[in-house]
Amino acid sequence: MSDSAKTHQRFGRFAALVAIYFAIQFLLPKPASVTPEGWRLVGIFGATIAGLILQPIPGGALVLLAVTLSAAFGGLTIAQALSGYGDPTVWLVMAAFFISRALINTGLARRIALFFVRLCGRSSLGISYALSLSDMVLAAIIPSNGARSGGVVLPIMRSIAELYDSHPHTSAGRLGNFLFTAVYQGICISAAMFFTGQASNALAAKIATGAGYPIDWTKWFLAGIVPGLCSMAVVPWVVLKLNPPEIRATPEAAAFAAGELRKMGRLRGQEWILAAVFAAVCGLWATSAIHGIDITVTALAGSCALLLTGVITWEDVKSEKSAWDIFIWYGGLVQLGKSINNTGVTREFAAWAGSLLGEASWPVILAVSLAVYFYAHYAFASITAHILAMYPPFLAVLVATGAPVGLVAFAFACFTNLAAGLTHYGTTPSPMFFAHEYVPFRTWWKVGFVVSLVNLTIWSTVGFAWWRVIGYW
């Protein structure tokens, strides 16, 4: 596309955002309880969500624009508009990104992945389990599913596929086609299992906390571990049946991993330090209810320990572009979301939706809402945009019907991540995987739809029952 065409496209998308803002302002009826300033803020927020989907400019730049407009026209002071950047959850995500950079830079993340491949990579199904388990372990502390999969899992998977002479198009069916579909689905499950599974999980937790149900790393870990492991066990086997590889036995893959580990040698000093910090941070997160240390303090302390010992440098911190990008859009959205809730719009929406749903019981309303919410992800290229657009109103509606807030909060938060498996654009890693051209469009969507049914079944039965056992509802 020429520069001129790109410019016209960008202006066209901006024009669409302006149209959305004015449509909200003048076509939708303003609730009587919402002030004119609050309604303008709703218009800014709605246009921002649309912008995260249309992407006329990068998401961080768009949110910064929205923060500025919220102070100029949305009734917020500049201090209020910028206050999201001081939110502890924002700095928790930042600290986790710095630790994840150390995991990738030192090679410890790759060593973990190769260990799993050596352990259970003697079959094509075993390789998919190994790489999915690697991503799952790393998801406990790396909040970027793109960094985990793109920086660690994907290069190893591609190397194994080529080890068996499986290349895009011509010989993808030998092994690569299966691995790319199975491992991608595993990455979506990992994202649903942990507070740090992907960056906007912290945003969902923040919204749930604002609704009166606090969620931290430990609470999410307990919620995700049982249904997540069930999905991890079942989904690769389902993909194997749907999209079987020509090669089933892969002893060379385990040998390849063993050889790569030998080349890496023993754990070096920096890796030992990082492993100790990794274990300490996760351990303190998991026991925060006992000792009372805030999880953000723990994460920042871990980052400082890595800086003091030289495992990461300040240059590494400054060059962590993904982290600073997330800092801008996430910090801005935290405050915008809080301000929208303060306008009373969410309460009004819940009351309106409740009147439409009539006398149906909350389990029926929950089942219908979850299905609508889940498959709405076909329209989203971002988990963040999906959460911002639909999580707060659905949470408000269900709680207003009498549904247990813990059940609703975790169901919608986890299902957003699982829904990313539907398409080849559902979250950051999906275009990375799809761009390697091992998997045709039809196969990707077919596998995604069938796996979605499997995940919905597991998480709404095993998951809901487990959450009942641990007292979440």
Tens-place pLDDT, residues 364-398: 989 988 998 899 888 777 788 788 878 988 898 89
Report d(CA 155, CA 242) in Å as an integer. Answer: 24
Taking the C-alpha atoms of residue 333 and residue 117, their distance in angstroms, rounded to an integer, is 39
Residue 242 confidence (pLDDT): 94
Task: Please name the residue that has the structure tokens 């950051």.
Answer: 428
124 within 8 A of 254, measured Cβ to Cβ: no
pLDDT at 250: 87
> Rounded to 5 degrees, what are φ and ψ at 394?
-65, -40
**Close Cβ partners of 75 (under 8 Å, ≥ 6 residues apart):** 35, 37, 38, 40, 41
| 44 close to 313: Cβ distance less than 8 angstroms | no
pLDDT, tens digit, 9 for 90 and up, residues 226-268: 999 999 999 999 999 999 999 898 888 888 889 988 998 898 9
Q: Where are the domains of the chain?
A: 88-198+205-319
Rounded Cα distance, 181 and 158, in Å: 12
Task: Let me know: does 459 contact 418? Beta carbons within 8 Å.
Answer: yes
> Which residues, listed in sequence order, are joined to residue 123 by a DSSP beta bridge?
249
Residues near 435 by beta carbon (within 8 Å), at least 6 away in sequence: none
Segments of the chain scoring below 70 in pLDDT: 1, 346-347, 349-351, 353-358
Confirm whether pTM is higher than 0.85: no
Residue 212 φ/ψ, nearest 5 degrees: 100, 10
What does the alpha-carbon distance between residue 272 and residue 424 come to, in Å, rounded to a whole number?
37
Say how far apart CA 22 and CA 446 lie, in whole Å. 38
pLDDT of residue 225: 97
Nearest Cα to Cα of residue 142 among 105, 182, 87: 105
